[in-house]
Chains A and B, each alone.
Chain A
Amino acid sequence: MRRVAITGLGVVSPLGNGAQNFFDRLVQGHSGVTRLPEDFNPRLLSRVVAPASFDGAVHFGAARLRMLDRVSQFALVAAAEAIADAGALFERDDRATTGVFVGTGMGGAHSTDEGYQTVYGEQSDRVKPFAVLMAMNNAAAAWIGIDHQLLGPNLTYSTACSSSAVAIGEAWKRIATGDLNVMIAGGSEAPLTFGTLKAWEALRTLAVEDPDDVSTSCKPFAKNRSGLVLGEGAAMVVLESWERAESRGARIHAELAGYGLSMDAEHITRPTVAGQACAMTRALESARMSAGEVGYVNAHGTATMANDAVETAAIKQVFGPGAYALPVSSTKSMHGHLLGAAGALELAATVLAIEKRVLPPTLHLVHADPECDLDYVVASARPVSTLTAAISNSFAFGGTNVSLVCRAVL
């Protein structure tokens, strides 16, 4: 297996755009969680969300915008940043073999919502002519390939909340096995539409608004956690074979060292300790890394009752007694749950934590849950003197679990 370098990062997030800006705000402990505006459909009862501050018109002309669902806009902006961040990525003109793997759970949800509103809500036949092209799940990946003339495999993965972690893991595998040398991988999600939010509300899994401060409503690992907060955004990484990255003198953020994939195969929503532990174990095995080398876990940490307790137990199973000394944080407390883009965004946080040797915190964890008894980097970021490896978890409805392992550049 070949080593894989992460040479580019791009982020559109509820904490702002740009990977470095995103990480700075994580470390500063900002929350992107807020309440929907008063004029958003009042029939929606669960109104706590984590929106991205993003205006497509800043990035695209009017004609282009009419073809791009918000999910594709996010993806294109994040991909462009990642490619620029990688610096002279295509100076050898090997775009012909560069692939694009993108994860999304809900694809062009805005376009789907709008189309249904037209035909069912308004009883009108004036469906926008590009509704199909905007709503299709592979639009984001396709546009990245088109805009950057990348002729390699162009695939879209949809495994709910682990979609982009799968996309990045599968891209890692393509490079590690020698199939390809460069991949653009990540995820995008734009689920903050009335229809999508209403569907999530019906599932009764969204966070209850904190009565004192809406921005603290997402409380991973806390006893009074009440559910997840839906967020929107995208994150993309540039992956290269280590040899290629070194030979062109690229700045390497970190090594993407391993990828573990497992399936619960038990229940459509309820996670299992065995399934989550299996993903982490497989990731460590593929990285040829011992559990003791890991210095930080960026948890899936959704703030649902089920996930956080199960993930805590799974971490203990994998790391043994050492789990209690292992810092674990859920950055979802600040950026919410980006569903299909969550894994990519949290990998970006993990990579930058390694690079800058600062662990982003878990916010709003005031009331401890006896079932969640690890070191969750509570309240504020923690500088560390050494951090050689970290793991990022992404688990999903449906049961597809992913862990990605990163190693510092030494």
Chain B
Amino acid sequence: MSVEADTTFERLRQILAKEFEVAPELIHPAARMDQLAIDSLAVIEVIFQLEDEFNISFPQRPGELQTVGDLASCVDRLTAEQHARGSSGAAAP
């Protein structure tokens, strides 16, 4: 795992622990969101907070986000794409 991914994961871990009351020791890249009591509806709230945290925009249909690692990877990909475009807020539809 890259340093950047570590950083993303750590920031994600803090959000899940603080805002979603998930026990920090349960949060690892392979942990499924539903096993952390974060259902598909709550994932939408997680995405909303990640958009603020990383200054990115998720697309309307972000694809499979079943694990914490899926989310972290998605954040990294969107950060790279959107910051490379020099646009901090414009998402692909």
Tell which of A18-26, A58-66, A224-232, A344-352 binds the partner: A58-66
Report if A128 contacts B (CB, 8 A).
yes
Most chain B CB inside 10 Å of its own CB: which residue of A61, A126, A128, A129: A129
B 44-55 binary contact with A (CB < 8 Å = 1; else 0):
110110011000
Report if A324 contacts B (CB, 8 A).
no
Chain B facing A: main interface SS: helix
**Which residues of A lie under 8 Å from residue B5 when comparing CB positions?**
none
Is A62's CB under 8 angstroms from B19's CB?
yes
Is A130's CB under 8 angstroms from B45's CB?
yes
B12 → A minimal CB distance (Å): 15
Binding site for A on B (CB under 8 A): 19-21, 41-42, 44-45, 47-48, 51-52
Is A62's CB under 8 angstroms from B44's CB?
no
Is A129's CB under 8 angstroms from B21's CB?
no
Query: When chains A and B are docked, how far (Å) is the Cα of A129 from the Cα of B49?
Result: 10
Q: Which of B20, B44, B48, B52 contacts A63 (CB 8 A)?
A: B20
Specify the chain A residue showing the minimal Cβ separation from B43: A129
Specify the chain B residue showing the minimal Cβ separation from A61: B21
Query: When chains A and B are docked, how far (Å) is the Cα of A62 from the Cα of B21?
Result: 8
Query: When chains A and B are docked, how far (Å) is the Cα of A129 from the Cα of B48?
Result: 7
Closest 8 pairs (CB-CB, A-B): A129-B44, A129-B48, A63-B20, A129-B45, A63-B21, A61-B21, A66-B45, A62-B19
B81 → A minimal CB distance (Å): 19
Query: When chains A and B are docked, how far (Å) is the Cα of A397 from the Cα of B30?
Result: 56
Query: When chains A and B are docked, how far (Å) is the Cα of A129 from the Cα of B51?
Result: 12
Query: When chains A and B are docked, how far (Å) is the Cα of A90 from the Cα of B53?
Result: 45
In the complex, besides A63-B19, A126-B51, 7 extra interface pairs with C-beta distance below 8 angstroms are A62-B21, A63-B20, A63-B45, A126-B52, A129-B47, A130-B41, A130-B45
Return 14 A-B CB contacts under 8 Å, by A number.
Answer: A61-B21, A62-B19, A62-B21, A63-B19, A63-B20, A63-B42, A63-B45, A126-B52, A129-B44, A129-B45, A129-B47, A130-B41, A130-B44, A130-B45
A135 → B minimal CB distance (Å): 16
Is A128's CB under 8 angstroms from B21's CB?
no
